[in-house]
Structure 1
């Protein structure tokens, strides 16, 4: 039972991570039961756990849907997320290992190469590179509890970050910011790395409204 519940959770989380499920989308319970060949009990348990983490909500006459924040909720979550990501970058600058340093340089180079080759196109592929960059920084922080908190918050915002890269110039700006953040981390400038990452993760009020509207 526990293993089936975990399987259901992992399946739904993967669909959220990949954009198969977006904010406001209904969780098709019958389809999941058929896809995973399970009973309704582990599905309900999985949905309860995801609801407890704030990743899905129950709506009258719709059922369980992927969490879709209001503007106020979006800005509040973003404020916390930016601080967590910034803290991870600051810790990474103090704790960076040679292996993580090499991985960080490699992903920054890939981001720059993608922008040089594709410009504003192929934004989904760039988004995967962006996820790799933030994962490496999070892992380099050496704090698994902080990394778990970042992952949990990121899933509430992931669709909006993905949509952000459809905007003209967003990929180029991101690639340049990744290079600056990595430079501060590699040169052990903890305060600078934290400030740069916090600013990198934030959205202004107008951009937040535009991104929220894109999922209406």
Structure 2
């Protein structure tokens, strides 16, 4: 596959993955190669390749001779994602407390301030975007490429569930308070407390997300 074809395939894959994870494609929806190719103004080949890649990571499954259907993220998937995050994201926060730069600390502080502002304005879409930014900075400042890759992937796969969770103002308010405690520990260079506060944050997020999923 030449470079141009690789880029096109990746663009189609990224688009379809995002559409599935954002909930625009629902579980058991059929992926129509012809329709997708027409929408994206590409040939069927990169669409087919992207769908096969999505199958390899479990987001779509074969429907026999009827093409592919969306598997999406199940309750079991979410349970697994948050259980793994509980195990390793606290460790990342502890590393962040040791390795974060003043600029990164300032960025975290600004995010928390913006979250409080958008909470008052009831702009939930902005809240979950800022939540992503908050966690991304912590992953980056852990200075562990492995943790950053793993946690960014897990965080991304749960983004539709997080979006629903942040639509509840009560949970959003609690989450922001948890972010404040994580930030304080990181600013103080307190690795132990940063890890503890992050674990508590992810545990609470898991409980809330799974409750929303079942509702």
TM class by smaller structure: 0.7 to 0.9
TM-score, normalisation: structure 2: 0.84
Moved over 6 A (4+): none
Equivalent position of 2:81 in the other structure: 77
Distance 2:205 2:7 in 1: 41
Q: 1: CA distance between counterparts of 2:142 and 2:206? A: 29
8 Å contact from structure 1 (residues 9, 47) kept in 2: yes
The question of 1:63 aligning with 2:45 is answered no
Structure 2 CA distance for partners of 1:186 and 1:125, relative to 1, 3 Å: same
Larger Rg over CA atoms: 2
Question: Could you say which residue in structure 2 is the equivalent of 1:150?
Answer: 151
Q: Secondary structure at the match of 2:158?
A: helix
Distance 2:182 2:27 in 1: 29
Structure 2 CA distance for partners of 1:206 and 1:14, relative to 1, 3 Å: closer
**Paired residues of 1:75 and 1:208 also in contact (CA < 8 A):** no
The match for 2:200 is 199
Post-superposition Cα deviations, 1:153-190, rounded to whole Å, max 9, x if no partner, equal 22332111111122241111111111111111111111
Alpha-carbon RMSD across the aligned residues, in angstroms, is 2.5
* Higher helix fraction (1 or 2): 2
1:113-168 superposed Cα distances (whole Å, 9 cap, x missing partner): 222x22xx321121111111111111111122211111222233211111112224
Q: Which runs of 5+ in 1 are unaligned?
A: none
- Give distance in 1, aligned partners of 2:32 and 2:88: 32
Deviation at 1:200, TM superposition (A): 1.0
Q: 8 Å contact 1:26–1:66 — kept in the other structure? A: no
Determine if the alignment matches structure 1 residue 99 to structure 2 residue 103. yes
Higher relative contact order (Cα pairs below 8 Å, separated by 6+ residues):
1
Contact 2:82–2:206 (8 Å) recurs in 1: no
TM score, norm. by length of structure 1: 0.84
CA shift in 2, pair 1:58/1:149, >3 Å: farther
Q: In structure 2, do the counterparts of structure 1 residues 127 and 16 end up closer, same or farther at CA, with 3 Å as the change threshold? A: farther
Unaligned runs of 5+ in 2: none
Is the 8 Å Cα contact of residues 27 and 66 (structure 1) preserved in structure 2?
no
Q: 1:43 aligns with which of 34, 41, 47?
A: 47
Distance 1:37 1:112 in 2: 41
Aligned length: 210
Name the CA shift for 1:198/1:14 in 2 (closer, same or farther; >3 Å): same
What SS does the corresponding residue of 1:134 show, helix, strand or coil? helix
